[in-house]
Every structure is written in structure tokens, then in C-alpha cells.
Amino acid sequence: MSNKNLSLLFTGQGSQFAEMGVDFIKKYEWVKDRYSISSKILGYDLLKAQSDPSLLNLTQYSQPMIFVFSSIVIDLCKDYLHKNFSKITLAGHSLGEYCALYFAESLEFEDMLEVVKCRADSMSIVSDPNKYAMYAILKKESLEIDESLFGEGVYLANLNSDRQVVICGFKDVINKFKEQNPIGKFIPLNVSAPFHSDLMKDSAEIFNKKIKKNLFKKINIDLISNHKLINYKNLSEEEYSKQLTYQIHSPVMWSETIKTIFNDEIDTCIEIGPKKTLLNFLPKDFQGEKYTLCNHEDINNV
């Protein structure tokens, strides 16, 4: 790895799988303790919930699962990354923004898990896989998607890259939209709510009221938010909860986030999370090094 500029990207919901974290539990006693502490905070056995197919993809369970897993990877590699790179810039996709804030030491693990639990519980009030759907669209390469296509029950939730966007909304309306707009390949996502749309405004309000008592610490590292590309480093700590509230019901501007980060001449890009997702959205002309930190073997190879 180079001793220059690093971009750290943190994966969001949809990357979860039943066995995540098991290899770390076998290697480290403190990881067992973390899962035990997490289960007490959450009020259920986290590892048992992971192995239950009926819970794995539900918002109130999957978000804490992914955060706990990502926190373990962060704590295993954070010191090394700080020592070996002169500048680090952070970004997280949706839930991944909380993982990025944890890396930046805005909150201790237990406190951040409480915030993630609050987010997951708040967002789960509209969680219904029978009512809502989200699809990634791999659009035809030459096609420019007109945003006027969306609305009336179909929302543009993520702008992930020049080729991929994500839509969400009511399942019956989404299915009709697919039939009427053959704009690319529609890929269903493993989520149960219409994230990052106006349908999440009630959830955002509940979240905002619940976390006002949580005091974030101001970070001293660049962290680009999904919402309007705001850098947390330039916010006061009192504004963090408001920024996270907006993020729940605002589109994830991931493509623009990456362009903003890469203006800093990034030499190395590392993705942290259960599965490789975000490296697929990097610019095709990126010539730097790319790594995923998704398991114990990955960390050993760093």
C-alpha cells in the first residue's frame, strides 16, 4: 500500500449475510465480548438473529448487524491505516455513514450502536416487504435518465454511479413502472422499506426526537455525507444529529460523493463492510490501489 491519500468507504444495508463475523469470533476473544455487549444493548441475541432468514433482511435487525460487523473490522485496522496513510477521507453509503463516524471517533462503540438501533427502529415503522420495494437499475449505457420519470409512488433513492441508480416506492406502483419504462436491468434489493425517499419523513422525525440527547464529538477527519455532500468536519457537533436526520429521507448522492473525494487525488481506496459493493462504483479511469476488508483474511493481506 502507498503512504499517500486513502479513501475509506463503508458499506450499507443489503450487504448482510448470516455468517458475517463468525471468522472474527473464532480468532479474537474481544469479538465474542462485543457480540455479547451488542446483544444486551439490542435486547436480542445478535448472532441468532443473523442466522434467522426471516430476520436477516429486516431493517431493525440488519442495520445493527452490519454496524457491529463493520466496527470490528474498523477496530482491527484503524491504527494501521492511520500510521500508513498521510491523509484519509471517509464516506459511507447510507448506514455506512454511521460506520464512518465511528471510525472518526465521533462516538464510542456502545453509544453509536444505540444510535444505530434508534435509526433502525425508527425506519422500521415503514418496513413492510409486502408493501414496498427497492430496485437497483443498471441503465442502458447510452441512456440519460430523466428525473421527471419519478414521482407518484416511485422515488429516486440512490444515484450510485453513471450507470446505476436505485428507485423505491410502493411495490405495485414500482412493478407497473418497470413494465412501462424498460430503461435497463432491474435488480431487487434485500431491504424492506423505501429508504431515502419522502416516505421516510415520519421515521426521520422519530429518529431526530430520540437522538437529541446523544452528544456526538466533533471529528477532525474529512467525512463526506450522503446528504448534500456536506463534510462533517465543517459542522458543529450539535449539527450531526440534524445531518443524520436529513440523510434518512434524502437521496444518497453516491456518485457525486465519490467525485468529491477523488478531487483530493486518492491513491488507494478501501471498502469496509460484509461484502464488496462500493468498489464497483469507482470511476473506470481510477488507477490507484483497491482493497476490500470483509473478513479476517482480507485484513491479514493489508
pLDDT surpassing 90 at residue 264: no
pLDDT at residue number 142: 67
CA distance 24 to 294: 11
CA distance 57 to 30: 26
Q: How confident is the model at residue 253 (pLDDT cuts 50, 70, 90)?
A: very high
Q: Encode pLDDT of 211-222 as tens digits.
A: 977 789 999 999
Q: What is the mean pLDDT of residues 281-298?
A: 90
Q: Which residue has the higher pLDDT, 190 or 106?
A: 106
pLDDT at residue number 191: 76
pLDDT at residue number 122: 96
Task: Return the percentage of the chain with pLDDT > 70, whole number.
Answer: 97
Q: Are 160 and 281 in contact (CB under 8 A)?
A: yes
Q: How confident is the model at residue 296 (pLDDT cuts 50, 70, 90)?
A: confident
pLDDT at residue number 195: 93
CA distance 260 to 246: 20
CA distance 267 to 161: 20
Q: Do domains 5-127+197-300 and 134-188 have the same CATH topology?
A: no
CA distance 138 to 257: 19
Q: What is the mean pLDDT of residues 163-170?
A: 92
Q: Are 112 and 123 in contact (CB under 8 A)?
A: no
**Helix-helix angle 109-123:59-84, to 10 degrees:** 140
Specify the pairing of strand 154-159 against strand 222-223.
unpaired
pLDDT at residue number 51: 95
Q: How confident is the model at residue 14 (pLDDT cuts 50, 70, 90)?
A: confident
DSSP category for residue 234: G
Q: Encode pLDDT of 113-157 as tens digits.
A: 999 999 999 999 987 888 899 999 998 776 677 677 777 789 999
pLDDT at residue number 2: 47
Task: Name the residue among 113, 19, 115, 44 with its Cα closest to residue 74.
Answer: 113
Domain boundaries along the sequence of the chain: 5-127+197-300, 134-188
134-188 is classed CATH 3.40.1350: no
Neighbour-count burial of 66, counting CB atoms closer than 10 A to its CB (0-12 exposed, 13-18 middle, 19+ buried): buried
pLDDT at residue number 252: 96
Q: What is the mean pLDDT of residues 87-107?
A: 97
Q: Which residue has the higher pLDDT, 47 or 283?
A: 47
Distances (CA, A) of 182 to 7, 151, 156, 175, 188: 35, 17, 16, 11, 15
Report the phi/psi class of residue 184: left, alpha or beta, with left for phi > 0 and alpha for psi in -120 to 50. Answer: left
What's the mean pLDDT when you consider all of the chain? Answer: 92
pLDDT surpassing 90 at residue 34: yes
Q: Which residue has the cell 424498460?
A: 182
Q: Are 17 and 101 in contact (CB under 8 A)?
A: no
Q: Superfamily assignment of 5-127+197-300 in CATH?
A: Malonyl-Coenzyme A Acyl Carrier Protein, domain 2 (3.40.366.10)
pLDDT surpassing 90 at residue 233: yes
pLDDT at residue number 301: 77
**Helix-helix angle 109-123:201-211, to 10 degrees:** 150
Least confident of 22-26, 47-51, 125-129, 185-189: 125-129
pLDDT surpassing 50 at residue 259: yes
pLDDT at residue number 265: 84
Q: Cβ contacts of residue 121 below 8 Å, gap of 6+?
A: 60
Task: Return the percentage of the chain with pLDDT > 90, whole number.
Answer: 77
